[in-house]
Each structure stands twice: as structure tokens, then as C-alpha cells.
Structure 1
Amino acid sequence: MRLLLASGHSVTIFDNLSHSKRSAVAEAATFVEGDLADRDLIQTTLRNGSFDGVMHFAALIEAGESMVKPEIFFRNNTASTLTLLEAMLATGQKRLVFSSTAACYGEPEKTPILEDAKLEPTNAYGESKLLVEHILRWMNKIHGMRYASLRYFNVAGAIEGYGEAHEPESHIIPLILDVALGRRKNIKIFGQDYPTKDGTCVRDYVHIRDLADAHLLALKALTDEAKPSRMIYNIGTGTGFTVREVIEAARRVTGKAIEVEECDRRPGDPAVLVAGSDRIRAELGWNPQHGALDEIITSAWEWHQKRYS
């Protein structure tokens, strides 16, 4: 949002505030409180402005919860996205940057994962996003909708004044930092017997600023008719870290002893998810600037300390 505003765009935020706060919206942005299931309100919003494109971030994201309540993920992430797409078509909006996920891949056959790897999600969250990608392919083929699907790996870190604050929190780095701040007793490690260097899951962490840059590049590409009308990109650094390595990095950054609790595996957690991101680097010129794990955690730590000071 802030990068768009700084680049000279006008921005309208459409959100139901179920997992966010009104205070997070920049003053220069227009805010509409609404739900993606409300097609009439979406269409009214789209008709009342002049838009270069739509960026769709709204989703339930906790993979573990999706294995307990898959129905709410398909309702919110898949069905409501279809409502958004119908509203876009009805109002002549045909450019979309979609927040997808590395969870579309499931257990990869090899790493780093390339965009043409098999798509077999191991959790309902990944499946809910993959279904949207299938819908988008047909919207592109039949209606000419131009879209970029960005398959996020693990997004982390903070920018000036803004960091991760999910309600409830489910991401590993802010959970670890909560332990460092004394706000929770320990960090849970789910599974110690994965086929990795220390038995814990491996993930690729990308800084939020680098992710935001990828969105701006994707939007710019969609407005260029010479570019492909259908783009799929992995958003990750290509480097993986185990859960234990992330905890050790947090100990280095914070100088705190961070206790752990070893728990059983969670259903649907792949052992290794590391991005092959050569495609977006080559085609859009994306070049992540904040890929060092200690740098990512340091930015998050500085923000969390200010948040609770």
C-alpha cells in the first residue's frame, strides 16, 4: 500500500478487518470496510474508482487450521475469490495480482522448487489457493483476464512502522520473538524427525519489502500489453533454514535464551519448501535485497520491541 502510494498510485483498501486493524491503513488511502463475499459492494467500489488493477491479499492462511476446518478455507479463500473475479468482470477490471502460496506444491520431488513442479497440496489451505489458480487460468483463457499469481514462500520481517501482527499469531518468527519478549513461555517445534539436517522443517524466508517490490513489478507488467497475460512466479530467496536454525538466529539477534517445546508433527506440513525464483528475476528484474536471515529477524525484532514498549 505504502509503496504504491509512494509510486504515485491512488489506493483503495477493501477489507473486513477480521484479521487486521483500521489503523494499519495509510491516511492517504481510501478505505472500504466490506467482505469479499459481498459482490454488490465490491462492484460499487470498483465502479466508483479508476483502477489500473486489483491486488488480492485477503485469505485465511494457517495451514494447521485448514486441516481442522477445511470448509472455511474453501468458502473464504476460493468461493469469495470467485465472487471478486465475477465483480471484476462485471465492471471491466481485467488485471489481477493474486497472493498464492508455496503450499500449492505440497511435498516437492526436488528443491529448489520451480514453477512447473507438480501441484499436489498436502493441506486444505494450499488446495484452496490452487483452486483459485485453476479458476484464473480459465478466466484468462475465456475472458482475457490478465493476472500474475505470486506463490509466496515464508514472508517475514518488518518495514519502518509495520510488522507482522496476525490475530491470532501463527507465523514462526513473531512467535519466537514473543518468547524473547516474555509474552509466551516457549516456541513449539512441530516434528523433529523430518528428513532434514536437524530433523525440523526447512523453509525459505523472504523479507516483506522484497515481497512488496515483487507486487509492484507484477502490476507494472500486467499494464504492459507486450508482456504475457498469464504469469506465475515463486517469491522466495532460494535459501532454506530449519526451524532450529531460525530459533538460533533469533537468539543471536535478541541475546535472549529462547525456550522450545518439542511437539508432534502437524498434519499437512511438508518437510522442505525452498523457492526457485529465477523466472521472476529474469522476466521482471526482481532482485531481493534483504535475504539474510539475521537481517530479516533484526527488522522484526526492532518492530516488536517498539510495538510493546
Structure 2
Amino acid sequence: MAWLVTGGAGYIGSHIVRAFLKEGIEVVVIDDLSSGHAEFVPADVPFVRGTLLDRDLLMRTFAEHTVTGVVHVAGYKYAGVSVQRPLHTYEQNVTAMATLLSAMQESDVGRMVFSSSAAVYGTPHTDLVTEDTPKSPESPYGESKLIGEWLLRDQAVAAGLHYTALRYFNVVGSGALDLRDTSPHNLFPLVFDALMEGRTPSINGDDYATPDGTCVRDYIHVADLALSHVAAARRLDGGEPVLPVYNLGSGDGVSVGQIMSTVSTVTGIAFTPVIGPRRTGDPDRIVASGELAARDLDWAMRHSLEEMVASAWGSRQAASDAEK
């Protein structure tokens, strides 16, 4: 019996795969490698290359590997770009989810841990986001994640699906030197690429209503997030109760300015960020409470900001050394 990790060759998915293996839980990976990397999947883990839109492939995978649960991480994750590619976003995140759930139902696979997103909240009008904060997504990406949660809710009623959805903001760091964030849109890769190319990283605005004038956000370590996915799967396997959704939040957050300062200290590269204009729609502060996940899913901020930066920088350097 195994858990299927969709998107298991990606940055987050590959960390989840390793967390499952460390706990002695058998896993199978499916990924179309549109943004993932085959080398992120351990050699002894069955790897199926393909799309979740291929229902027949899903059915064969469930049967061949005796899959009993799914950790659904795969999806089109670029919120900003999703505004220009709404149809693609909905196909990858909504149609694929419906196809996956259909194949699960026919194969009697009745458990899912869904990698959702704090993008479902849009711009919340509160200093601390909870699971009950009103949902008002502001991009096709955020909308598609919320629809994914609705599909799970409705399938639970219709077919008895046991599930939970985990919402989180900014995932950073690395749990292994050979795993790293390669997104062209995320803050850490953008900053590291700039430094390695001799450019000065930039900040979008420094006149926000925060202690240092830069935006405050939740940044959580990818290895901490992976552990809570394992905990959620174990609860589902054990028939223990879970909530429909959990926030994996820090409770306090850090500012972009703090991140830049920490990057300079950790890398040993002195720089003063270039201050650019604000981005439209960026709120001063968005931070989520992780109390419910701490209670039920072993959620904890086990890594300091310095450790987040150092682990991410180490994996970026390792990749650069390997390319030489």
C-alpha cells in the first residue's frame, strides 16, 4: 500500500516524498515535469511521468501500486501569471482535480491531503488570518484553489472522501542540498540569482505601515510543511478526525527587509536593496495563525529565518557547483 504524491518531482512535493519515506511510508510519484525535476525523485521511488488529466493513467497507477491515499501537490502555482492564463490555470488546477477525484472514487481510494493556498483569502482585512477569515481570491490561481476545496467538500458528501486541505503562504528553505526552489517567481530564487549574477536585489516599496516599511508575510520552511503533510496522512490512515482546512502559519511573520538583511548576513555579500515602486494590491501585512495545525498536525516553526535562508542558499550553491 502506498500514498501517491502528485507533483512529487517539484520543490514542495519532493520534500513531502522524502518526509514520507523517512517515516517508513511507501510513496509513488506522478509528475509531468512541467516545473518539476526527475532528479528530485529518489531512485527507489516509483515515478510515473504524466498528467493528471489522463484518467486512464491514474487508474493504472492506482491499481499497479495499490494506492490508498493521495497527497495532491501538483498544479499551476503562479498567481500573477494566472491572470494572463486563466484557462490554463483552471485546466491544471480544477479539471485535473475533478479527474483525479473521479479516478480515486472508481479505484476506491478514499483519502486526500490537498496542498491548497493562502491565496484563497485574497487581501484579508485582519492582522491575523484564521481558517474562518473570509475567502476572496484575487487571481485565477487563488480561485482555482478555493474551487479545489469545494470539490473535496462535495466529494466527501457524495462519496465519503476523507480529506483535509492545508493552506500556506510563502514556502522557503531546503531540507536537502539536492532539492531547491527553482521557481522564476519566488523571492528567494530571485534574490539568489541576482546576487550570483552580480546584480542588486530589489524591494517593491518601503513605505508600508510596518516597523521597517516593507511588507510583512508568513515565510515557512519547506521541511516543516512536509512534516505536517505526513501527520495529516497518518491521521487519515488512522481514522482520526481532521478539520476540512488548516493554515500552516507562523503567527508573527517577517518583513521583506528582514529577509534581505538576513540574506546579506548568511551569504556574506553586502548589499543595500534597490527600492522599487509598490506593487498594486500588496497589503502591508498578511500573517496566518497556525494554532489548529499545531494542535492536530504536529505543525511548528522548527527553523529560524537564518536557517531558512542558509538552507536555501546552500542548495542554490550546490546546484551552481554541480553545473560547473
TM-score bucket (shorter structure): over 0.9
**Does 2:256 align with 1:243?**
yes
- Give the alignment of 1:101-250 within 5 angstroms: 101-166=117-182, 168-180=183-195, 182-183=196-197, 185-228=199-242, 230-250=243-263
266, 270, 280: which one aligns with 1:257: 270
8 Å CA contact 2:172–2:181 kept in 1: the answer is no
Match of 1:272 in 2: 285
CA RMSD of aligned residues (A): 1.8
Unpaired runs of 5+ residues, structure 1, are none
Q: Name the CA distance, whole Å, in 2 between partners of 1:177 and 1:197.
A: 25
After TM superposition, give the deviation of residue 83 of structure 1 in Å.
1.0
- Give the alignment of 1:31-50 within 5 angstroms: 31-50=47-66
Q: Name the CA distance, whole Å, in 2 between partners of 1:184 and 1:139.
A: 51
Report SS of the residue matched to 1:54: strand
214-223 or 270-279, which deviates more? 270-279
Give percent identity, aligned residues only: 36
Match of 1:88 in 2: 104
8 Å CA contact 1:108–1:272 kept in 2: the answer is no
**Structure ranking higher on relative contact order (CA contacts 8 Å, 6+ apart):** 1
Report SS of the residue matched to 2:68: coil
8 Å CA contact 1:107–1:271 kept in 2: the answer is no
8 Å CA contact 1:62–1:125 kept in 2: the answer is yes
47, 69, 72: which one aligns with 1:56: 72
After TM superposition, give the deviation of residue 12 of structure 1 in Å.
0.8
After TM superposition, give the deviation of residue 39 of structure 1 in Å.
1.0
